[in-house]
């Protein structure tokens, strides 16, 4: 078949193609430029909003951490003016029996308070989730949350009055009404237990609210299926409720461990010396005694070293707990 020579050599105008390409390239460049300018504007706008928070963190967190490291490793006689790298501060705090006792008390507090609080709050939350509807839960939430948001110092002073060692204390008055003898709550034998009672009471409201909300969100069909299979209620609690509350339980354990090493019972005893007399000093209280200008035991070096030891302990426990929580969450997911 013969080819049409005119059609064979007929092509589009190359000049027209070049102009179209230029227009297309120009449009793409213009669009890219506008996108880049828009991103820069968004970034600057966001930077303006977060700058106050960054300044706050830089001054009150990062700079404070730097000062703690500097003090902990500083062996100069004038630590605020000079710097001399040393590990003597760490040696001195571990030679101090009060620091060892404070570590022991913080660890004992964590071992006793966290599981005790979990048992009480899980049981209470389960009972409340069975008898409450969501409207009543809103009222209960306000009622329980009130002690949690109240000033810790105010609550501590109230507890100190309730547990006065004399017969005038409310706790001893109740004991005497049942024919029991008064208890010296601030003695060396009972001082740390007073701190534990306060910690349990202080932590319970928040955990009850969170666990009750968790149980109320569980699909009722799980319980219906368990009832059809003849599973009693106490087994439903362990095999239905607890597995679905594992993420919240892990969260409470994590925050409980961190909080247990940050206990500061100043309101219960009034001074560090009083807590030492009651054998109830904690790590944070020990640090406070070293950085408090009015303290007779002031030592910024020991305070910085104790802070770094506390930070290392919390970091190690938190990392270990997160690994365990990942395994539990994956198992019960």
Tell me if 272 is assigned to some domain.
yes
pLDDT in tens, 120-174: 999 988 888 877 666 666 677 667 667 666 777 777 778 778 887 776 778 888 8
Whole-angstrom distance, CA of residue 259 vs CA of residue 268 = 17
Q: In terms of domains, do 104 and 59 share one?
A: no
Q: In terms of domains, do 20 and 144 share one?
A: no
Q: In terms of domains, do 58 and 186 share one?
A: no
Q: In terms of domains, do 108 and 231 share one?
A: yes
Tell me if 177 is assigned to some domain.
yes
pTM for this model (two decimals): 0.75
Q: In terms of domains, do 136 and 281 share one?
A: yes
Q: In terms of domains, do 274 and 325 share one?
A: yes
Q: In terms of domains, do 272 and 323 share one?
A: yes
Say how many Å lie between the first and final Cα of the chain, rounded: 73
Q: In this structure, what CATH number is given to the domain that contains residue 325?
A: 1.10.3720.10
Task: Spell out the residues 6+ positions from residue 163 whose beta carbon is closer than 8 angstroms to its own.
Answer: 169, 170, 171, 172, 185, 186, 194, 197
Residue 243: phi, psi to the nearest 5?
Answer: -55, -35
pLDDT (0 to 100) of residue 161: 81
Dihedral, CA of residue 61, residue 65, residue 66 and residue 67, to nearest 10: 100
- What's the domain range around 28? 16-72
Q: In terms of domains, do 115 and 217 share one?
A: yes
Q: In terms of domains, do 138 and 35 share one?
A: no
pLDDT in tens, 39-52: 667 777 788 888 88
* Residue 309 burial (CB count, 10 A): 18
Tell me if 78 is assigned to some domain.
no
- How many structural domains is the chain composed of? 2
């Amino acid at each position: 078949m013969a080819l049409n020579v005119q059609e064979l050599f007929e092509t589009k105008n190359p000049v027209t193609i070049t102009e179209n390409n230029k227009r297309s390239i120009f449009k793409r460049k213009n669009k890219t430029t506008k996108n880049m300018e828009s991103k820069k504007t968004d970034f600057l706008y966001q930077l303006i909003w977060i700058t106050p928070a960054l300044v706050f963190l830089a001054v009150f967190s990062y700079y404070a951490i730097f000062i703690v490291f500097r003090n902990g490793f500083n062996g100069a006689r004038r630590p605020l003016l000079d710097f001399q790298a040393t590990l003597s501060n760490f040696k001195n705090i571990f030679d101090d029996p009060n620091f060892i006792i404070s570590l022991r008390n913080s660890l004992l507090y964590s071992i006793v308070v966290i599981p005790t609080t979990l048992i009480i709050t899980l049981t209470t939350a389960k009972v409340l989730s069975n008898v409450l509807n969501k409207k009543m839960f809103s009222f209960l939430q306000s009622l329980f949350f009130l002690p949690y948001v109240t000033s810790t110092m105010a609550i501590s002073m109230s507890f100190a009055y309730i547990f006065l060692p004399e017969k005038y204390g409310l706790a001893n008055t109740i004991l005497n009404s049942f024919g029991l003898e008064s208890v010296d709550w601030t003695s060396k034998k009972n001082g740390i237990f007073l701190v534990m009672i306060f910690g349990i009471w202080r932590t319970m409201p928040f955990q009850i609210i969170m666990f009750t909300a968790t149980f109320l969100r569980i699909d009722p069909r799980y319980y219906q299926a368990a009832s059809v299979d003849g599973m009693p209620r106490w087994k439903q609690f362990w095999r239905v409720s607890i597995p679905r509350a594992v993420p919240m339980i892990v969260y409470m354990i994590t925050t409980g461990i961190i909080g247990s090493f940050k206990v500061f019972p100043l309101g219960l005893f009034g001074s560090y010396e009083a807590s030492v007399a009651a054998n109830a000093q904690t790590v944070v209280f020990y640090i406070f005694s070293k950085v408090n200008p009015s303290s007779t035991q002031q030592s910024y070096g020991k305070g910085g070293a104790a802070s770094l030891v506390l930070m290392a302990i919390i970091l190690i426990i938190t990392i270990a707990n997160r690994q365990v929580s990942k395994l539990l969450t994956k198992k019960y997911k």
